[in-house]
Amino acid sequence: MAEDKCGIMGCDKSAIRSYAREACERAGLDVKDEEARRVHLCREHNKQYKKSTRTERKLETLGR
Ligand SMILES: [Zn+2]
């Protein structure tokens, strides 16, 4: 069985959740697959997603 991997650029950890791609992009995440409906997120990106949906403002310099 294929394991879901995180769908964010430069990340290939195991995913724990999935969200709509649009929501992820709005949260400032770099989604690998531009055509995907849903994006799987690993634990770290899930955390980042939640954080950024709360404080949408200054996210630009969060990642590297
Ligand atoms: Zn990730």
Query: Could you tell me the pTM of the whole model?
Result: 0.78
Mean pLDDT over each residue of the chain, to the nearest integer = 88
Q: Which residues contact 4 (CB under 8 A, 6 or more apart)?
A: 14, 15, 18, 40
pLDDT at 59: 54
Protein residues with C-beta less than 5 angstroms from the ion ligand 1? 6, 8, 11, 42, 45
For residues 49-60, average pLDDT: 73
Number of domains in the chain: 1
Residue 10 lies in a domain: yes
**Which residue reads 């649009």 in tokens?**
22
pLDDT at 58: 57
- Per-residue pLDDT tens over the stretch 23-49: 999 999 999 999 999 999 999 999 999
The alpha carbon of 40 and the centre of ligand 1 are apart by a number of angstroms equal to 8
Angle among Cα 57, 53, 37 to the nearest 5 degrees reads 120
Residue 63 lies in a domain: no
**φ/ψ of residue 46, rounded to 5:** -65, -40
The alpha carbon of 31 and the centre of ligand 1 are apart by a number of angstroms equal to 10
The residue range of the domain holding 18 is: 1-58
For residues 42-62, average pLDDT: 80
